[in-house]
Structure 1
Amino acid sequence: MFRLIQSSRARPAARSHLLLLCSQSLSGRPQAAARSASHARHASTDASSSSSDIRATLMAELKNAMKTKDTVKSITIRSVLSEVYAADKAASGTASPSAIVGILRKAASRRADSAAEFAKASRPDLAEKEQHEAAILQAFLPPLLPEADIDRVLREIVASPAISEAVAKGPPQKALGQVFKAFYAQVDKSSVDPDLVRQRAQALLASAK
């Protein structure tokens, strides 16, 4: 009998303890969600600012290359920075991060093209040098926008009333300029491969006719 009374008295205490645990668990969920959202915001900020400090990164890497006496790397970075300074002068101020990324992409592409030409000319030594310089520059570049994302933006533009009307009135390729204008109003030119954008735009316009 005594044990039964003890058991019945213990149950409210156990229920109270259980309710307390549930309350703590539920109160912790919003905090966890807030922490998760905060991490997501920080990740988004980091991704969006990846190209904003590219000038500082180039300068820092140039100093490191000079300290370690990496002649090829220091010469390669100096050559790009000279183009950046020319862009500063042309802009009557400071070239934008987007412009600097564009300069880097073109410089890396030129070296990759040169490497291919030297390889064709049976000059593996010069081809290797150009490939090495291209790799140095590519390491500074943010990733390009995936083809799927390019297609998504282009499809929305091609389906818009203005472009649909232009395609209906004449050859689809005549609307190409309008498509590019609308596309680059939404997408940073330095974040895409222009040749790929052209190819996909032409294909989508041809299929829209």
Structure 2
Amino acid sequence: MSSKNKDTLASTTLRAVLAEVYAADKASKDEKVSSSAILSILRKAATRRTESASQFAAAERPDLADKELREANLLSGFLPPMLSEAEIDSHLSKILAQLPSGEKPGMIFKEFYTVIDKSTVDPALVKKRLDVLLNP
């Protein structure tokens, strides 16, 4: 794809992320890392690049900030959308309705993540939404 079109930004970015995936494969006790783990690697790589772009922009380096943003956008194109607050609330509400009242948050999170792939949500947002639902 990118090598034929001489898109060096794309090929360099994808090679860097593939290296992270291969390193995770080698470090894994299982044969291969799961697709969920690969999505997490991609999401973290995109986030790192977005954060770097902010730092470069603050340091008045728009050329480097633009490069990092283009890389983050490229990687984001491979990711499924994150669940919205409403979708998270819906799943948490269903779980809360099924569990006995007064259940510990740890059990609620465990149930939530058996239904929802962790790579499709922001864990901090899930915690925040659970706090809101438990303490209206």
Q: TM-score under structure 1 normalisation?
A: 0.60
Equivalent position of 1:128 in the other structure: 66
Deviations 1:107-147 (A, max 9, x none): 10111111112212222111111101101100111122232
Equivalent position of 1:178 in the other structure: 107
Distance (whole Å) between structure 2 residues aligned to residue 204 and residue 125 of structure 1: 44
For residue 4 of structure 2, what is the amino acid of its counterpart?
K
Deviations 1:147-198 (A, max 9, x none): 2221111112233444x224xxxxxxxx332222111011011122222212
Matches within 5 A, 1:57-72: 64-72=1-9
Superposed displacement of residue 90, structure 1: 2.5
Deviations 1:17-73 (A, max 9, x none): xxxxxxxxxxxxxxxxxxxxxxxxxxxxxxxxxxxxxxxxxxxxxxx1112221111
Equivalent position of 1:188 in the other structure: 117
Residue 88 of structure 1, aligned match among 18, 21, 25:
25
Identity %: 54
Matches within 5 A, 1:1-209: 64-91=1-28, 92-162=30-100, 164-166=101-103, 175-207=104-136
Q: Which protein has the larger Cα radius of gyration, Structure 1 or Structure 2? A: 1
Number of residue-to-residue matches in the alignment = 135
For residue 91 of structure 2, what is the amino acid of its counterpart?
V
Distance (whole Å) between structure 2 residues aligned to residue 70 and residue 108 of structure 1: 18
Q: TM-score under structure 2 normalisation?
A: 0.89
For residue 77 of structure 1, what is the amino acid of its counterpart?
L
3-state SS of paired residue (2:83): coil
Distance (whole Å) between structure 2 residues aligned to residue 147 and residue 113 of structure 1: 23
Over the aligned positions, Cα root-mean-square deviation in angstroms equals 1.6
- Greater RCO (CA < 8 Å, at least 6 residues apart): 2
Structure 1 unaligned segments of length 5 or more: list them.
1-63, 167-174
CA shift in 2, pair 1:74/1:157, >3 Å:
same
